[in-house]
Amino acid sequence: MSDLKSTNSSAAEPATDNRSLIKAALDIDPWLEPFSQPLIDRQLDFKKWYADLNSSEGSLVKFASSYHEYGLHADWNSTSITLTQYIPDVLEVSLVGDFNDWNVNSHKLNKVNNFGLWSLTIPSINGEFAIKHDTRYKIAMKLPSGEIIFRLDPWLRRATPSTENTLYEGRFWNPPPQEKYQFKHKRAQFNDREGIRIYEAHVGISTPEPKVGTYKNFTQNVLPIIHTLGYNTIQLMAIMEHAYYACFGYQVTNFFAISSRYGTPDDLKELIDTAHGLGIKVLLDVVHSHSSKNVQDGLNMFNGTDYYLFHGGPKGNHDLWDSRLFNYANHETLRFLLSNLKFFIDEYKFDGFRFDGVTSMLYKHHGLSFGFSGDYNEYFNPDYVDGDAINYLMLAHKLLDDMSQLENNFKFISIAEDVSGMPTLCLPLSQGGIGFDYRLSMAIPDMWIKILKHLSDDQWDLSNIVHTLTNRRYKEKCISYCESHDQALVGDKTIAFWLMDKEMYTNMSKLSENTPVIDRGIALHKLIRLLTFALGGEGYLNFEGNEFGHPEWLDFPREGNGQSYHYARRQFNLIADDLLRYKFLFNFDSGMLSLDTKYGVLDTPQAYVSLKHESDKVLIFERHGLLFAFNFHHSNSYPDYKVGVETAGTYVLVLSSDDKEYGGHQRVEELDEHGKPYEYFTNNEKWNDRSNSLQLYLPSRTAIVLQLKSKVF
């Protein structure tokens, strides 16, 4: 590994007038000091791009509004249609479709400049649009070789499967204004107390029936479930159009089109608007890290070259994902991607983004076969780091900041899927960071799967678990999760499957015996989720169905399974049956989330862990006025277990995983003989480096949460 300081002699002594750009980052993490110059260089490069775009394009917001101009657009006042495209390295460009019998000579575009810009205006015909709504169309191009190729419009708003082959077809989406969905609700706002609680969802699988779900089904049947549970944010996957359903939405073919398999653009707008009416934000899982290799219905080889918006040659290929990589140094690539972000905020009212594959973007090696050790050289070595991608991400966050000012300071959310832990990734631009609000704590689900796969209950290492849950960068917020869609896919197992797969199809009915396997599985499922929720981050994420221990993995229809939809669904019907034990886990998830809605646990400083007792398997910590006590022991229960607590006073129980409503055994007293909440009183004996202590009954495989009811002064 090369030494960054040896490649840049000024690394430790940057120009003093530029240090203000990163002073806040250095104050937060002094270990960044030797890497001041690369941090400053990132800021300077970003500021230069921002200034240049403001100068050449009017503003960054205007630049990102290019979707209003590029592509095919209808003017309802004049009933004319205009097509504008960036297509370099071609001789001619034509608009073809059903409206002109696909004649390449009928509607040729005019060359606007020598930089690849083409345009055409099609006048009204007898007061009507020359191209009807939902008409099929393509862009035809004559290459220098004389060959004529046909491609889908990169900016098209609608693509649907062909009835003639396996390809997708471009559609001119232009319904009458009076038929378009009109938003009724304002964007949802968080209150000052609560953190972000994310329900990761895929519209297509959100039905118990073995078929593709719809936006309408999600709106009518899934949104109420999410609202009941207490999630305040939905992260929608697989929305950007993807020709191959089984890619889970990560091989995007049409960036401005939403997946037509779920319904129409108006259907998605209704979904988001309804969520806003319930006080729920909606995030788009945006894929700007790579693009599908599809040629006929994707961006690849659009103008006959391999470098249209992408890097040419091997640099433009992601070997593991078999996809194309964007050239973030290209002016028109930035126009396309930044416009894509603004389009989804403006057109569909999304409230922010979860950026997929950020690790692949940040590094020239894309994280492939690279084990991140935490050595800061890995994050700042120019041989490793893709400065152009970092600049794009900084411009994207500056765009979100600028748009926030235009929308009454509404805070648009951004989340990075990054496994590398790059410093400053989740610091604001103003503090010398890249700008993300959160990064996903991707080590946590890996830890839980390894524990469940390889260790018996008495081998669980509480110190290692706590370290993994709390090992995050100071002042850079994280989203914790036990399992996301990755752990639900066929080939892996969900936590519920690892715990109970032998008996999930036979003993999840309350009419059957509560076997040791089921009893253990339900108990540990609750403890794992509560511990991850309370200790693992400043936000929390759950993949749909996992909250109630969905009994099956996720597998999309493909050749290997006979194109079956049997596993490409979520069986929400299971929680509607009061005779099934899935309802217990569902109820507990709601009770757990209420800790944040009532007491504001998530968006607070890290917990103080006062006890990790390996032989007792007891874990104690305090966070934001709540006392958490976990007993992971498989059989030992502890009466009058002494625990430390900092604040003296009277404590009351606010959550017990052993509650009967949650499938427990009701071993913890919740009410006294008068029917009032059972109270726990501290004494002034110091314990485990805390100023006071109290005694608790900790049943085996149980977690309890207490709140300070009143202080002793």
Distance CA 78, CA 297 (A): 31
Whether residue 163 is found in the same domain as residue 201? no
Whether residue 654 is found in the same domain as residue 575? no
pLDDT recorded at residue 713: 56
- CB within 8 A of 337, min separation 6: which ones? 288, 326, 328, 392, 396
CB 506 within 8 A of CB 60: no
Long-range contacts of 405-414 (CB under 8 A, 24+ apart): 406/61, 407/187, 410/187, 410/189, 410/351, 412/345, 412/351, 412/352, 412/353, 413/196, 413/233, 413/281, 413/283, 413/351, 413/352, 413/353, 413/437, 413/438, 414/352, 414/353, 414/354, 414/355, 414/438
**Comparing C-alpha atoms, which of 281, 286, 277 is closest to residue 344?**
286
pLDDT tens column, 293-346: 999 999 999 999 999 999 999 999 999 999 999 999 999 999 999 999 999 999
Whether residue 598 is found in the same domain as residue 613? no
Distance CA 524, CA 495 (A): 9
Is the C-alpha dihedral spanning 417, 423, 427, 430 positive or negative?
negative
Containing structural domain, residue 142? 66-179
Whether residue 698 is found in the same domain as residue 637? yes
Active site includes 356? yes
Whether residue 486 is found in the same domain as residue 570? yes
Whether residue 625 is found in the same domain as residue 570? no
CB 526 within 8 A of CB 585: yes
| Any domain includes 186 | no
Strand partners, 629: 620, 704
| Any domain includes 379 | no
Identity of residue 68: H
Q: Which of 179, 210, 236 is the last residue of a domain?
A: 179
CB 235 within 8 A of CB 283: yes
Whether residue 629 is found in the same domain as residue 661? yes
Catalytic member of 332, 351, 417, 596: 417
**Comparing C-alpha atoms, which of 334, 399, 325 is closest to residue 362?**
325
DSSP category for residue 221: I
What CATH number is attached to the domain comprising 275?
3.20.20.80
Whether residue 231 is found in the same domain as residue 253? yes
Q: Which of 605, 637, 660 is the last residue of a domain?
A: 605
Of all residues in the chain, the percent with pLDDT exceeding 90 is 90
What CATH number is attached to the domain comprising 645?
2.60.40.1180
Buried b or exposed e, range 18-38, using 16+ CB within 10 angstroms: bbebbebbbebbeebeebbbb
430 or 193, which is more confident?
430
pTM of the complete model beyond 0.85: yes
Q: Which of 605, 620, 645 is the last residue of a domain?
A: 605
Whether residue 618 is found in the same domain as residue 686? yes
Distance CA 519, CA 662 (A): 11
Distance CA 26, CA 19 (A): 9
Catalytic member of 356, 538, 555, 658: 356
Whether residue 166 is found in the same domain as residue 148? yes
| Any domain includes 400 | no
| Any domain includes 359 | no
Total domains, the chain:
4
| Any domain includes 683 | yes
**Element containing residue 172 per DSSP (H, E):** strand 168-172
| Any domain includes 459 | no
Average pLDDT score over residue span 683-711: 95
| Any domain includes 145 | yes
Average pLDDT score over residue span 7-16: 44
Confidence of residue 450 (pLDDT cuts 50, 70, 90): very high
pLDDT tens column, 636-676: 999 999 999 999 999 999 999 999 999 999 999 888 778 88
Whether residue 171 is found in the same domain as residue 279? no
Whether residue 236 is found in the same domain as residue 275? yes
Active site includes 417? yes
| Any domain includes 146 | yes
